[in-house]
């Protein structure tokens, strides 16, 4: 499913095409894709909320499949092994960020389903060092959300500073949030969820949220940490107002609308912190997949065939997706 130019997803901009099979280069592996997650970042790419890269795009960066070809010198995986491909697919390894454990900030980073072809397709290629073994405990349908929603959720939790037994506020309850709540509850934390969608509120309650509501001002308690997953800048001051002194807010979206003017006394004084979240490191990915298998995380998924990728993205845009959308290839 190929994006040749950006357009509202209502116009079904992804087109079904037959393209030449890719071949793995040196140190690369080719994967026969079984499933691929549907992410809000894909929607941002399709609708040009991220700059269009200037070439046709095969979206999708939550890829689960079987290795079917090895490039020259590739030794990390074996033919027939199940692996995952995520958003981060290349860094330079030499810049100040890469050398300091911050490869997610590399100026030369390239991303799956944006700069390079993604998983809305039968075959995908990646450098073996940017792929992940998938724990056996997860099915092909359960695993894709772990590779972006889960990994970004994990990094967001770290950026929020949440510690065992504390409290967490979540704003927006899509794919990433429904995984984060499972991790936070496993840590013995109380979780408060604010989200507009009725089905999302029902899912949050079912998963064990302490409080679920639609309006931020109605949240009944201050929290130690908060994460905003909704791409809504107006939530930032509201979330800060509901943080305890010394609390931290993680802003997890790759895209966000404008943040309104804030008041220092009400929003930032008392050592409150705002931390943005930018992609992830490979270490984040390895950490999270281990945690997810130990808990174990149980992603809620809605299945679509590959040809219905436009419909899947539209369902996501209209907030009609419970949990995570997954394309079956």
pTM equals 0.92
CATH number of the 150-276 domain: 3.40.50.720
What average pLDDT does the structure give for the chain? 96
Hey, do 2-142+299-328 and 150-276 end up sharing a CATH topology, with the first three levels equal?
Answer: no
Taking the C-alpha atoms of residue 234 and residue 321, their distance in angstroms, rounded to an integer, is 23
- The pLDDT, as a whole number, for residue 144 is 98
Judge whether 9 and 22 are in contact, CB under 8 Å.
no
Mean pLDDT for the stretch of residues 280-294: 97
- The pLDDT, as a whole number, for residue 321 is 86
Taking the C-alpha atoms of residue 120 and residue 129, their distance in angstroms, rounded to an integer, is 21
Judge whether 193 and 209 are in contact, CB under 8 Å.
yes
pLDDT tens string 79-133: 999 999 999 999 999 999 999 999 999 999 999 999 999 999 999 999 999 999 9
Look at residue 17 and tell me whether its pLDDT is greater than 90. Answer: yes
pLDDT > 90: percent of the chain: 97
Angle between helices 149-160 and 175-186 (to 10 degrees): 50
Question: What superfamily does domain 2-142+299-328 belong to in CATH?
Answer: Medium-chain alcohol dehydrogenases, catalytic domain (3.90.180.10)
Taking the C-alpha atoms of residue 294 and residue 272, their distance in angstroms, rounded to an integer, is 32
Q: Which of 231, 59, 250 is nearest to 144 (CA)?
A: 59
pLDDT tens string 146-159: 999 999 999 999 99
- The pLDDT, as a whole number, for residue 254 is 86
What is Dmax (Cα atoms) for the chain?
59
Q: Which of 322, 89, 281, 284 is nearest to 183 (CA)?
A: 284
- The pLDDT, as a whole number, for residue 4 is 96
| The two structure tokens encoding residue 226 | 């908060």
> Where do the structural domains in the chain lie, given as residue ranges?
2-142+299-328, 150-276
What is the DSSP-derived secondary structure letter of residue 252? -
Taking the C-alpha atoms of residue 144 and residue 140, their distance in angstroms, rounded to an integer, is 7
- The verdict on whether omega for the bond into residue 57 sits within 30 degrees of 0, i.e. cis, is no
């Amino acid at each position: 499913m190929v994006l040749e130019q950006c357009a509202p997803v209502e116009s079904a901009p992804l087109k079904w095409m037959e393209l030449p099979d890719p071949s793995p280069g040196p140190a690369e592996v080719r994967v026969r894709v079984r499933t691929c997650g549907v992410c809000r970042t894909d929607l941002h790419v399709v609708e040009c909320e991220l700059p269009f890269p200037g070439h046709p795009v095969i979206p999708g960066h939550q890829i689960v499949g079987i290795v079917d070809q090895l490039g020259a010198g590739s030794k990390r995986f074996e033919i027939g092994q199940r692996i995952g491909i995520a958003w981060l697919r290349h860094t330079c390894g030499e810049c100040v960020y890469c050398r300091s454990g911050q490869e997610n900030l590399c100026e030369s980073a390239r991303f799956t389903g944006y700069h390079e072809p993604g998983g809305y397709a039968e075959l995908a290629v990646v450098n073996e060092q940017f792929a992940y073994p998938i724990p056996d405990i997860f099915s092909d349908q359960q695993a894709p959300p772990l590779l972006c929603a889960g990994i970004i959720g994990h990094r967001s939790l770290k950026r929020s500073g949440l510690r065992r037994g504390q409290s967490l506020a979540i704003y927006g309850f899509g794919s990433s949030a429904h995984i984060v709540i499972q991790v936070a509850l496993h840590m013995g934390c109380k979780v408060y969820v604010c989200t507009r969608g009725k089905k999302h509120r029902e899912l949050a309650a079912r998963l064990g949220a302490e409080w679920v509501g639609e309006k931020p001002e109605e949240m009944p308690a201050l929290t130690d940490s908060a994460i905003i997953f909704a791409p809504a800048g107006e939530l930032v001051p509201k979330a800060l107002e509901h943080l305890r002194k010394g609390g931290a807010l993680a802003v997890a979206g790759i895209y966000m609308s404008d943040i309104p003017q804030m008041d220092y006394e009400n929003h930032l004084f008392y050592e409150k912190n705002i931390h943005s979240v930018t992609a992830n490191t490979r270490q984040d990915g390895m950490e999270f997949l281990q945690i997810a298998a130990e808990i174990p995380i149980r992603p809620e998924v809605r299945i679509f065939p590959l040809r219905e990728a436009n419909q899947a993205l539209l369902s996501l845009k209209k907030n009609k997706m419970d949990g995570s959308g997954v394309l079956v290839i």
